[in-house]
Structure 1
Amino acid sequence: MEHNSKIYIAGHRGMVGSAIWRALTAKGYTNLIGRTSAELDLKNQQTVKDFFNSEKPEVVIDAAARVGGILANSEYPYQFLMENLQIQNNLIDTAHKTEVEKFIFLGSSCIYPKLAPQPLKEEYLLTGSLEPTNEWYAIAKIAGVKACEAIRKQFGKDYVSLMPTNLYGIHDNFDLKTSHVLPAMIRKFHEAKMNSEPVELWGSGTPMREFLHVDDMADAVVFALENKLPEHLYNIGTGKDLTIKELAETIQKVVGHKGEILWDDSKPDGTPRKLMNVDKMKTAGWKASIDLEEGIKTTYKWFLKNSENYKQIKL
């Protein structure tokens, strides 16, 4: 991969896309392109075609998606299914038809069956039922994985799918209605600290989860960009997990909240455990490096610095 190769990062303003942009810039890549959703509606097929014909990217990294936690997936199932299908189908198909030889598709560990053996291996895809609370998003992402696999199989192009575990980091979404568990906890513990209140959290605290800092995810994308990986699908994670209760206690410690933690077990827990088997990526030559507590510390510092002007925090 040449440092002046034209690389289009779809979703370059989001948490993942912006981390990829930073990582590539730090490594000396000088020809990155991105468009905001206002500038380029990825759900519009013709608009995407016009963009590709005009800009002629050599590489496409798809970090664009409609994302959210259990609440958002439950309340907006159609949007989570259809908008993600539209975005990725337009990008994958147009990239293929405009002779883009390298495409990196980003998904999520929620593509795997709810009760698949742990840790999750890539070959467990489509071997059982999905977790109902996020199946709409998962079905869309599975379609993207299979589209990239089909192009790779039929046309021999280097289209690869990277499935990260739960991501967190700077530029995360801290809106309590649409955020994931880790940033939601950071905000809840911070507000409770400011108001000297206890923190109420959903579920029992017993599910196991794995968390990957977004800068590690970006590093994995750069690795996939600079190497021709032999398979079409790779898990991206740390290979280590902890209970939601342990996560809450870690965040409480970092934030400095001294009050009580109350668990509302009438609310859903989601998947009992979701740990990624990352052996394939390790064999290829990449592994995560950012410690969870240190990652939470940097994320909380960013949250404090940006809580008054970052649009999604809404404090």
Structure 2
Amino acid sequence: MSHRYDDLTDYVLEKIHAGECDIAFHELENNVSQGDADSLALLGGFYIYGIGVDTDIQQGINMLEKSVQMECGDACYELWKIYSGEDQIVRTDYDIAINYLRKGMELGNSKCYGDMGCCYLNGEYVVKNPKLGYDYSKIAAEDGVPCGIINCAICNDDGIGTVRNAYEASQWYRKYLEMEPDNDFAMVRLAICLADPYEMFGISISDDMLREALFYCEQAMLKDNPEAYLIYGWFYEMGKIVPQNYDEAYKYIKKSAELGNDFAKEHLKSYFKDIFGRYYVR
């Protein structure tokens, strides 16, 4: 999919933030006069949100609709967001919204594929279909759409709509973290795929994978992620690339429990102290 619309959006936003809204507006008008559908869609946004002009939602929507007729997939995506109630601009109409999403997919718009993948995975506005949800998410992911990337990671991780594959999930989690480096959910899920502490995957695990998992646990712990503390404790409990140390393991698992992790609360019941005050597990 062409990313021209996104590039043009970035350019227009730069102009607006620089106080050059009029310049952006007139440049878009000039592009529209030459038949540019992307510029027409963006110009519609000026009217919908009242950017440098009087707010005229209907005129803006009309411009987006005309852009769709000119086969602009991004205009479909904008209309999907409008009619699904994301910005509460107009009365929500899910039938209209989904139709625009489908039209955008017909035009090859990867963002539309990504959101439709979410719809099928969650059963929102359509009948739930994990296989379609995964397939559409993967199309979006391969074009760099964030929601498609994280959904591909989760689907491969949990075996939703596809065969469970920790290695594939790891690749998508890494890619997502390149885009969202502070996302502790992705950090922890990546660590689980790499280290398999719950023994869900039955995969061969190298020391490099364990070291990477430990690193992402440490990063997620900085954000007080409860499960990160639990897995970090597991490393010490099992002696995986760190010296086995039940006292250290107990400390981190206890912290996880204090942060609300139910598994950690239950696992603490396996810890006991010997006559020297040192923890052991039974």
TM over 0.5: no
- TM bin, normalised by shorter chain, reads under 0.3
Higher CA-based Rg: 2
Q: Which has the higher contact order (CA 8 A, sep 6+)?
A: 1
In the superposition, the TM-score normalised over structure 2's length comes to: 0.27
In the superposition, the TM-score normalised over structure 1's length comes to: 0.25
